[in-house]
């Protein structure tokens, strides 16, 4: 009986060419596994394509709600943003995918998992760290790094290889952006984006929305509610998290929200330039932060910001299945106990404009914040506070003045 390999299958040219390649070079039985994280019509016709290419079976696994509830929400609650801009759309999905690949491999009795990530990117790290953490005994096959037997260097090479193996599919050799899409975002790399001096061709590039310049001239008000840091409704309609993100994507795309052009530092050491569209995610992160401003105290906010940066680094580097991620997430979850309330804002030409926030746990006190003196705050108390708070500065200044005299 042949050994089995589970292939992370997207239906694109790369993973289609990998099917006959695995059979030719390893004599494996190939089990394709396509993980649906909300990539839409990219899943159409995959069953026939996988079978035509020589796979013995195709799993199409719907992970949308798992992705939203168990990966996106912890990152939203943490405020996890990589290098101040990237909302981790691809990064968050990879551990969810790796986990399901391992589950399918166990179910099928496979001895290996194969992925089509390149040897220059972050995804190879994310997939493989996830697999190693969950199934250290499984072999990992990464064709793009096996240059002695993976000799294809271009789309034309892959199309010809498929043709030679009797696979005639409507793939074209035209150059287009390299994209990754799920419910949270879509990323774009390649073409003019490879030169940081070039302006993105947004007319050609955008998929989920429009530029702020093309957004409506009339703003739109949106109201959201949260319970313990988890979104529960949009404009009065209660929805599960995945439907909330779908709704926010629609609203954000319409108003030009969440388009990010970034040169980021990859884990493998190089810089890369890409454009991310994250319309709904940008709104959700901002609304959550708007509510936290009311209910978290200063010291917790300060520490949580550091933890959010740490969480972003952990997720970006593919270290989801680690004690550190669990510990950071546990801290973040403890801060979310009172992040409950309603957030209102206006979407207008790429902007999210605050329009009022309320929470039963708000720490904002109008009597304290106003310029009138209330029972809790005596202006005279500030004298002693400033004396002690500024004491180190005063002592140092006195010492420096003394040293100058000598």
178 carries an active-site annotation: yes
Is 123 annotated as catalytic? Answer: yes
Catalytic residue, chosen from 49, 53, 91, 123, is 123
Q: 384: burial class by Cβ within 10 Å (0-12, 13-18, 19+)?
A: exposed
**CA–CA gap between residue 355 and residue 25 (Å, rounded):** 61
Phi, psi of 82 (to 5 degrees): -85, 125
What's the rounded Cα separation, in Å, for the pair 81 and 60?
30
**HSE-CB of 115 using CA atoms within 13 angstroms:** 23
CB 53 within 8 A of CB 162: yes
CA–CA dist 18, 78 (Å, integer):
38
Q: Which of 10, 36, 91, 94 is catalytic?
A: 94
The rounded distance, in Å, linking the Cα atoms of 404 and 352 is 53
- Residue 56 appears among annotated catalytic residues: no
Question: Do residues 314 and 324 lie in contact, with contact meaning Cβ atoms separated by under 8 Å?
Answer: yes
Q: Which of 237, 219, 183, 208 is nearest to 352 (CA)?
A: 219
Distance linking the first and last C-alpha atoms of the chain: 89
Based on the residue annotation, tell me whether 381 is a catalytic residue of this protein.
no
Residues 6+ apart with CB under 8 A from 105: 4, 6, 112, 113, 135, 138
* Contact status, residue 205 vs residue 275, Cβ threshold 8 Å: yes
Residue from 10, 14, 100, 246 carrying the catalytic annotation: 14
Question: HSE-up of 276 (CA within 13 Å, CB side)?
Answer: 25
CA distances from 182 to 96, 173, 242, 245, 285 (A): 12, 24, 11, 11, 17
Write down the catalytic residue from 178, 233, 242, 272.
178
- CA 275 to chain CA centroid, Å, is 13
SS (H, E, C) 367-400: HHHCCCCCCCCCCCHHHHHHHHHCHHHHHHHHHH
Catalytic residue set: 14, 94, 123, 178
């Amino acid at each position: 009986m042949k050994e089995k390999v589970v292939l992370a299958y997207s239906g694109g040219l790369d993973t289609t060419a990998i099917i006959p390649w695995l059979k030719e070079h390893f004599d494996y039985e190939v089990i394709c596994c396509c993980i649906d994280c909300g990539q839409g019509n990219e899943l159409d016709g995959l069953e026939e394509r996988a079978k035509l290419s020589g796979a013995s079976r195709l799993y199409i696994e719907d992970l949308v709600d798992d992705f939203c509830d168990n990966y996106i929400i912890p990152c939203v609650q943490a405020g996890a943003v990589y290098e101040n801009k990237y909302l981790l759309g691809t990064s968050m999905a990879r551990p969810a995918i790796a986990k399901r690949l391992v589950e399918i491999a166990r179910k099928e009795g496979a001895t290996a998992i194969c992925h089509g990530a390149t040897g220059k990117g972050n995804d190879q790290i994310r997939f493989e760290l996830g697999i190693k953490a969950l199934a250290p005994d499984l072999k990992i096959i990464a064709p793009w790094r096996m240059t002695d037997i993976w000799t294809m260097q271009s789309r034309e090479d892959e199309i010809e290889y498929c043709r030679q193996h009797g696979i005639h599919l409507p793939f074209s050799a035209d150059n287009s952006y390299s994209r990754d899409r799920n419910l949270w975002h879509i990323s774009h790399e390649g073409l003019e984006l490879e030169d940081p001096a070039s302006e993105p061709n947004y007319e050609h590039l955008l998929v989920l929305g429009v530029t702020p310049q093309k957004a409506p001239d009339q703003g739109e008000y949106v109201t959201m509610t949260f319970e313990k840091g988890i979104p529960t409704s949009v404009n009065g309609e209660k929805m599960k998290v995945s439907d909330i993100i779908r709704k926010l994507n629609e609203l954000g795309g319409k108003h030009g929200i969440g388009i990010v052009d970034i040169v980021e530092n990859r884990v493998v050491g190089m810089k890369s330039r890409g454009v991310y569209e994250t319309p709904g995610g940008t709104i959700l992160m901002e609304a959550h932060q708007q509510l936290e401003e009311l209910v978290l105290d200063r010291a917790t906010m300060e520490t949580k910001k550091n933890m959010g940066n740490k969480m972003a680094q952990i997720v970006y580097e593919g270290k989801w299945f680690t004690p550190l991620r669990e510990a950071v997430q546990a801290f973040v979850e403890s801060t979310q106990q009172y992040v409950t309330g309603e957030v209102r804002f206006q979407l207008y030409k790429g902007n999210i404009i605050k329009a009022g926030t309320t929470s039963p746990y708000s720490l904002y006190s109008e009597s304290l914040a106003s310029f009138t003196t209330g029972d809790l705050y005596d202006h005279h108390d500030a004298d002693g506070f400033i004396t002690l708070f500024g004491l180190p500065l005063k002592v140092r200044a006195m010492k420096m003045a003394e040293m100058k005299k000598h």
